[in-house]
Amino acid sequence: MSAVQDPDKAARYDQMPPIKGSVSFNEPMSRHTSFRIGGPVDVFAVPEDVEGLRLLLEWARDGGIPVLLVGAGTNLLVADKGIRGLVLKLGSGFGRIAVRGKRVVAGGAAKLPLLVRKTLDSGLSGLEGLSGVPGTVGGAVCMNAGTPLGCVGDTLESVEAIDMSGRTFTLNASDLGLAYRQSRVGEMRLAVTEAAFVLRRGLPERMKEVAAALLEKRDATQPYRSKTAGSTFKNPRAGCAGEMIEAVGAKGMRVGGAQVSALHANFIENVGNASAADVRQLMTRLQALVHDRFGVELQPEIQLVGEW
């Protein structure tokens, strides 16, 4: 019997299909986000193969149960009330990385830093510009993650994906609408189970110099050891979000346990058991200050999810 209190929900959840993987009820999402913030989700499932993922998606579709796909939780702000429905996270069975000549295939749950390191060790260039970017390959594709020296879309060839009805697809990168920190993956409601990249032979020493420089810069300018969700806002077309926030004197600004980083103004840190409401309120204040000063509407790079 599930631990869900609503009798109707409990009845539906008791009919969940058996899968290879794990299923938990009323799971605190604070355990699954880099912010360490977030209320409970009704059901948290970690399938280890495509068949289990397909069965869960079909079950949710037939039961009218909302589904949210998450990766490593490095850019999520989950509401304090939590999430109603099913949260799916791909298990380690989706974490394989295979180097086949200049083509590299990585599972959706593969860690992006591991993928970058493996391509560098293989003498393949094209992903070193992603050095220091956290998260999973699936999440990185969804957000077209990157740095000033490169993004996922630069070398992505195609993805294997499954939609909310359990149907599988092979899509070319050109089908995904890849743009600055965005793609059509979320709009299309897809789970990226595998991604293929086409790289090129490079000079190992030069590639490793680029990667090391990015990592050194991150260490010096970003609070990566703190509880954050990465960059809070996307950079506007004209200007830099962090510089704008710093210019309005907001470094160190605090709401409850949430604080604008003193190291990089486009990062919000959880410095004292911050609630999601604390972070959201702080984000709203920053948007207002920047708009009043520069006339710019800062758009969140962090994804706000759940029952607000």
Dump pLDDT digits (tens) for 23-68: 999 999 999 999 999 999 999 999 999 999 999 999 999 999 999 9
Mean pLDDT of 111-128: 95
Is a pLDDT exceeding 50 seen at residue 16? yes
CA distance 67 to 59: 11
Residues 135 and 239 occupy one common structural domain? no
Residues 197 and 116 occupy one common structural domain? yes
231 in a domain, yes or no? yes
Residues 148 and 198 occupy one common structural domain? yes
User: Contact 239/296 with Cβ under 8 angstroms?
Assistant: yes
1 in a domain, yes or no? no
User: Could you say which DSSP state residue 190 is in?
Assistant: E
3-state secondary structure labels for all residues of 141-189 = HHHCCEECCEEHHHCEEEEEEEECCCCEEEEEHHHCCCECCECCCCCCC
34 catalytic residue (yes or no): no
At 292, the pLDDT band (50, 70, 90 cuts) reads: very high
Residues 116 and 203 occupy one common structural domain? yes
227, 228, 229, 230 alpha-carbon torsion, rounded to 10°: -130
Q: Which of 219, 237, 258 is the last residue in one of the domains?
A: 219
**Burial of 163 per CB tally in 10 Å (0-12, 13-18, 19+):** middle
Catalytic residue among 27, 194, 269, 301: 301
At 11, the pLDDT band (50, 70, 90 cuts) reads: low
Query: CATH no. for residue 171?
Result: 3.30.465.10
User: Contact 79/29 with Cβ under 8 angstroms?
Assistant: no
Residues 196 and 121 occupy one common structural domain? yes
Residues 153 and 242 occupy one common structural domain? no
Output 85 or 225, whichever has higher pLDDT: 85
Is a pLDDT exceeding 70 seen at residue 276? yes
Q: Which of 219, 239, 271 is the last residue in one of the domains?
A: 219
Query: Between vectors from CA 100 to CA 96 and to CA 105, what angle results, nearest 5°?
Result: 35
CA distance 209 to 213: 6
157 catalytic residue (yes or no): no
Which one-letter amino acid corresponds to residue 75? N
Catalytic residue among 231, 261, 269, 280: 231
Which one-letter amino acid corresponds to residue 113? P
Residues 100 and 84 occupy one common structural domain? no
CA neighbor of 118 nearest in space, from 71, 141, 110, 133:
110
Q: Which of 174, 192, 219 is the last residue in one of the domains?
A: 219
Residues 178 and 228 occupy one common structural domain? no
Which one-letter amino acid corresponds to residue 44? F
Q: Per the structure, how many domains does the chain have?
A: 3
Q: What is the pLDDT of residues 59-112, one digit of tens each?
A: 999 999 999 999 999 999 999 999 999 999 999 999 999 999 999 999 999 999
Residues 187 and 285 occupy one common structural domain? no
Q: What is the pLDDT of residues 228-254, one digit of tens each?
A: 999 999 999 888 999 999 999 999 999
181 catalytic residue (yes or no): yes
CA distance 202 to 184: 31
Residues 168 and 247 occupy one common structural domain? no
Q: Which residue has the tokens 């990249």?
A: 197
202 in a domain, yes or no? yes
Q: What pTM, to 2 d.p., does this model score? A: 0.90
Residues 139 and 189 occupy one common structural domain? yes
Mean pLDDT of 287-307: 97
At 1, the pLDDT band (50, 70, 90 cuts) reads: very low
CA distance 269 to 283: 12
User: Contact 31/70 with Cβ under 8 angstroms?
Assistant: no
Q: What is the pLDDT of residues 141-193, one digit of tens each?
A: 999 999 888 899 999 999 999 999 999 999 999 999 999 889 999 889 999 99
150 lies in which domain range?
94-219
Residues 107 and 12 occupy one common structural domain? no
2 in a domain, yes or no? no
Q: What is the pLDDT of residue 13?
A: 76
Q: What is the mean pLDDT of the chain?
A: 93
User: Contact 228/34 with Cβ under 8 angstroms?
Assistant: yes
Catalytic residue among 84, 181, 189, 218: 181
